[in-house]
Amino acid sequence: MKRKECVKVVVRARPLSSKEVEDGRRRIVEVDTTRKEIIIQNIKGDGNEAQRSFVFDEVFDMNSQQEQVYHNTALPIVESVMDGYNGTVFAYGQTGTGKTHTMEGKNDPPHERGITPRTFDHIIKVIEGTPNIQFLVRCSYLELYNEEVRDLLSPNHLTKLELREKPEQGVFVKDLSKIVVKSVAELNEWLKAGRANRKVGETKMNQESSRSHSIFTLTIESSEFGADQQQHIKSGKLNLVDLAGSERQSKTQAVGVRFEEAININLSLTTLGNVITSLVDGKSQHIPYRDSKLTRLLQDSLGGNTKTVMVANIGPADYNFDETMSTLRYASRAKKIQNNPKINEDPKDAMIREFQEQINKLKDELARKAGGVIGPNGQIQKIKEQVIEVEDDEELTELQKKAQKEKADLEQQIMQQRRQSTLQEEEKKQLQLKLKEKQKLEHNLKKEQENMQKKLQELQEQLLHGDKMKEETRQKEKDLLKARMELEERSQQARRQAEELAKKEAMQMEQEQKYNSTKEEIEAKTQKLNNLIQKIKELKSQAQEQTQFRQRQKEELIEDNRESLRQLNLMNLIIEHFIPEDEEKRLKEKLEFSEEQDDWVIKEFEANPLKKPASAFFFKRPICNFSKMAINFGDTNPRFRPENILQTDLDLPQRMTEDFSHEPSQKIQEVLNVALNEDEEEQQMIQNEKQANVYIEDPSIINKEAILNPPSNPNKVRLQSAIKKNARRPQSGFKK
């Protein structure tokens, strides 16, 4: 029977930011690490409930260190993954509350490193301290941006990937990169490379706000020989999830692309909350995993075969009261989710088995070609000749006779070879050619063996082994961790028992309480009644808060829906006015809805590729009909030479004008006549172009009549500086 266990939920409160301190914000969150309790002041209450409290598996205050958070949250999950379990650690909360800091942190200084890099150190450390087991470690890194899955470790990290699902494998991402790693340095390099490709942006609440959900996955396969001398393989998968934070447009002031990102982030987180509510409710017949790609990716982590830890990050400032309460409510519900974790033994798709089969195949091939066997260190060992010792005299005599006979035959052959002192020239060439071929064959064989040896060494290096010297240290750490976890479990059990005992004692005291007078009894029961009334008011206040919160969520979703409709109407308007109807119809015929991708995709059809026309007889390239006709008439050099010519019909544009066939009115005709007639003044200027320039100091001496009616005079010249009041151009004249 499978052992069920609840999702472990921890809460971490960040300190007030410098901006919140400057704005005079008040801290309303208190953390009680002893009782593992979060206390938040009810700044929106009606006085019935001054504060609210939530109890979790672990809580961290504003002064908590990264190492403390890792050891109390992620370390037990990582140890379970090394034993073959699936594990998930994900950070949840409002934007700007420190989720990325908790998961990744900073490399410098080292104590600021988050859960992910500390996990790398611990995994390699465990492998180094386990000498009798082979390990294979692979990593992948993806992001979910605007409901699109992207591979952050791929050179083409903007390519959209597809989600698929198989019964034996569950939900997976098709064509996702899975990199084999051998050290902490390689893991950190791939994390850094993927982080550089992740979508981040600036908002009013966070300068480097994550605009996508990211999942860094480590797959750890181990192989060892059991007591039955059979090989046993285990496979564990660890998901390190950094969710984008929920946000309100009124606070982040996101517009354009940032606003669209916020809509998709909030929708996926709302679906995650609905999944948590459905799992906890118990009455829901349907769990809405398929409503979002985020919940599909986390399907196994919520109610499936996985050990899960949820790190809820909250802000302590008073103006984040609604968001903090929402996070605490979701975290409190998530504690009730039950998973069914089990060890993944002998999986069918284990890559370590393929690696071992390739290694054994290469060893056998090398041994066969080298005429030896592969030793335990991977080196080729030649088979040595055996010397037979014989003690029987008769056998020794026979062997000696046989040896003498072979010696005589050999001497006879040598004599025959000496008689044939020289060989023919052709025979020498053939022997030399055979010798060269043999040398070439040996060289190729040696090169092939070297390549196979190199490939074998690369495969063996990818399989990690432990060190005997570190085995004892690793065992001590494992025992210490086991003892600490048992101690923590006993303390939690003792605390729960103490709380239950206190409740039972209180109830028993109430039942056994005796009163000295009727008045005392009335006062005591009145006090109890008032306490019950106060509790009812508190419950009503909580219910009212939840109703108001859901109403705000509903209004935000409605507003997001309106914005989406506005965008849809804009797209429809563009299609209606700018895309032809035939083209629109053709595109619609090619679309179909994919259940796997939960989206519209273009149909896969077998298109007939354009083929090059067959070449004409006796010609290298196809030729047109005109050239063929010219050749038939005897033209050896036609106008169109044999080329790949295609006939294309041009689409002439539609005419937008028409001819004017009516008689114009008198007024229009007069305007046309004036425009078409030559200007008299312009003609006069053209006639005077050949005359010399005259400079006149006093323009008043010019006679207007003489200018307009000049006499026939050979000394007629052009005036350059003649000025006429309100004239548009220089005036003509003659020199007196």
Which CATH number fits the domain that encloses residue 39?
3.40.850.10
**DSSP readout, 255-285?**
-THHHHHHHHHHHHHHHHHHHHHHHHHS--S
CB neighbourhood size of 220 (10 A) = 24
Instruction: Please report the pLDDT score of residue 108 as a whole number.
Output: 84
Q: At residue 383, does pLDDT exceed 50?
A: no
Determine contact, residues 698/704, Cβ cutoff 8 Å: no
More confident residue, 719 or 581: 581
Three-state DSSP class for residue 89: strand
Instruction: Please report the pLDDT score of residue 419 as a whole number.
Output: 61
Instruction: Please report the pLDDT score of residue 253 as a whole number.
Output: 65
Q: At residue 11, does pLDDT exceed 90?
A: yes
Q: Could you give the percent of the chain with pLDDT greater than 70?
A: 71
Among 239-243, 294-298, 417-421, which is the least confidently predicted range? 417-421
3-state secondary structure 497-563: HHHHHHHHHHHHHHHHCCCCCHHHHHHHHHHHHHHHHHHHHHHHHHHHHHHHHHHHHHHHHHHHHHH
Which residues, including other chains, have CB under 8 Å from residue 426's CB and lie 6 or more apart?
none
Alpha carbon distance, N-terminus to C-terminus of the chain: 130
The Cα 690–Cα 664 span in angstroms is: 41
More confident residue, 120 or 519: 120
Instruction: Please report the pLDDT score of residue 723 as a whole number.
Output: 43
Instruction: Please report the pLDDT score of residue 716 as a whole number.
Output: 43
How many domains, the chain? 1
As annotated, the binding site includes: 93-100
Q: At residue 731, does pLDDT exceed 60?
A: no
Among 136-145, 316-325, 373-382, which is the least confidently predicted range? 373-382
Instruction: Please report the pLDDT score of residue 375 as a whole number.
Output: 52
Positive or negative CA dihedral for 467, 469, 471, 473? Answer: negative
**DSSP, res 95:** T
Q: Exposed, middle or buried by CB within 10 Å (0-12, 13-18, 19+), for 313?
A: buried
CB neighbourhood size of 520 (10 A) = 11
Q: In this structure, is residue 104 part of a structural domain?
A: yes
Q: At residue 89, does pLDDT exceed 90?
A: yes
- Domain span at residue 170 reads 5-347
Q: In this structure, is residue 12 part of a structural domain?
A: yes
Helix (H) or strand (E) holding 683: helix 680-687
Instruction: Please report the pLDDT score of residue 349 as a whole number.
Output: 63
Q: In this structure, is residue 89 part of a structural domain?
A: yes
As annotated, the binding site for ATP includes: 93-100
Average pLDDT over residues 210-215: 88
Three-state DSSP class for residue 592: strand
Determine contact, residues 191/117, Cβ cutoff 8 Å: yes
Question: Which of 159-168, 506-515, 655-664 is predicted most confidently?
Answer: 159-168
Q: In this structure, is residue 586 part of a structural domain?
A: no
Q: Which residues make beta-bridge pairs with 231?
A: 225
**pLDDT tens digits, 213-260:** 999 999 998 888 767 777 788 888 999 999 888 777 666 666 677 778
- 529 falls in which pLDDT band (50, 70, 90)? confident
Provide the mean pLDDT of the chain.
76
Instruction: Please report the pLDDT score of residue 732 as a whole number.
Output: 47
**Alpha helices of 26-128 — where are they, by DSSP H?**
66-82, 99-103, 115-128
Instruction: Please report the pLDDT score of residue 735 as a whole number.
Output: 42
**DSSP readout, 295-316?**
HHHTTTTTTSS-EEEEEEEE--
- 637 falls in which pLDDT band (50, 70, 90)? low
Instruction: Please report the pLDDT score of residue 141 as a whole number.
Output: 94
- 720 falls in which pLDDT band (50, 70, 90)? very low
Instruction: Please report the pLDDT score of residue 658 as a whole number.
Output: 74
Among 81-95, 127-141, 524-538, 659-673, which is the least confidently predicted range? 659-673
Average pLDDT over residues 358-386: 57
Task: Kindly state the tokens that stand for 280.
Answer: 């906890």
- 311 falls in which pLDDT band (50, 70, 90)? very high
- 548 falls in which pLDDT band (50, 70, 90)? confident
Question: Which of 185-194, 398-407, 639-648 is predicted most confidently?
Answer: 185-194
Task: Kindly state the tokens that stand for 531.
Answer: 């306490």
**pLDDT tens digits, 94-106:** 888 888 899 998 8
Q: At residue 117, does pLDDT exceed 90?
A: yes
Instruction: Please report the pLDDT score of residue 45 as a whole number.
Output: 61
Question: Which of 267-271, 557-561, 639-643 is predicted most confidently?
Answer: 267-271
Instruction: Please report the pLDDT score of residue 621 as a whole number.
Output: 62
Average pLDDT over residues 583-605: 76
**pLDDT tens digits, 25-44:** 889 999 998 888 999 988 87
Instruction: Please report the pLDDT score of residue 355 as a whole number.
Output: 62
**DSSP readout, 448-475?**
HHHHHHHHHHHHHHHSB---HHHHHHHH
More confident residue, 351 or 283: 283
Instruction: Please report the pLDDT score of residue 271 as a whole number.
Output: 86
Helix (H) or strand (E) holding 196: helix 184-197
Q: In this structure, is residue 418 part of a structural domain?
A: no
Angle between helices 184-197 and 115-128 (to 10 degrees): 160
Q: At residue 138, does pLDDT exceed 60?
A: yes
Among 261-265, 298-302, 517-521, 614-618, which is the least confidently predicted range? 614-618
Q: In this structure, is residue 579 part of a structural domain?
A: no
Determine contact, residues 380/372, Cβ cutoff 8 Å: yes
Instruction: Please report the pLDDT score of residue 687 as a whole number.
Output: 60
Instruction: Please report the pLDDT score of residue 610 as a whole number.
Output: 56
Instruction: Please report the pLDDT score of residue 611 as a whole number.
Output: 60
Determine contact, residues 13/314, Cβ cutoff 8 Å: yes
CB neighbourhood size of 67 (10 A) = 14
More confident residue, 716 or 235: 235
**pLDDT tens digits, 421-468:** 555 566 667 777 777 787 777 777 777 777 777 766 666 666 666 666
Closest C-alpha to 305, from 331, 357, 341: 341
Average pLDDT over residues 399-427: 70
Average pLDDT over residues 173-178: 89
Q: In this structure, is residue 240 part of a structural domain?
A: yes
Instruction: Please report the pLDDT score of residue 642 as a whole number.
Output: 46
* Upstream peptide bond of 622 is cis (omega within 30 degrees of 0): no
Instruction: Please report the pLDDT score of residue 387 as a whole number.
Output: 44
Q: At residue 606, does pLDDT exceed 60?
A: no
For tokens 């229009």, name the residue.
Answer: 668
Q: In this structure, is residue 401 part of a structural domain?
A: no
Task: Kindly state the tokens that stand for 192.
Answer: 């850094």
Instruction: Please report the pLDDT score of residue 218 as a whole number.
Output: 93
Q: Is the pTM of this model over 0.85?
A: no
Q: At residue 390, does pLDDT exceed 50?
A: no
